[in-house]
Amino acid sequence: MSDRGTKEPSPQSSTAQSPEEPQRRGRGRPRKQQQEPVGPPTPKRPRGRPKGSKSKGPRTALKVKTHHNTFIFIYNYIPMTSKDQQHFFFTYQESINL
């Protein structure tokens, strides 16, 4: 029969047929070569706004009951003496009744 499949190609004949081609590059941007780490790994830095970057004081709220059984919240409340509180509530009630 035929002995085509049993023949092994000689290495000289294959190189003579096709000269050595340069290595083909892949598509896209070439990858950066990996470097060996020299020292200890650097810690990851947090993203976004750093904690405590706003220079504002703490917010405190005072819950005040109005005459319609609803509540209002007063922010940045500075504690007052009882005399100042009475004056505040009287002036507040007067402004509502007007």
pTM beyond 0.75: the answer is: no
Distance CA 74, CA 92 (A): 13
Q: Write down the domain spans for the chain.
A: 57-98
Query: 42-88: per-residue pLDDT in tens?
Result: 888 888 877 766 666 666 666 666 666 677 666 666 666 666 666 66
* Highest-pLDDT range among 5-14, 24-33, 89-98: 24-33
pLDDT of residue 46: 81
Distance CA 74, CA 29 (A): 59
Identify which of 50, 52, 58 has the alpha carbon closest to the alpha carbon of residue 75. Answer: 58
Higher pLDDT, 52 or 29: 29
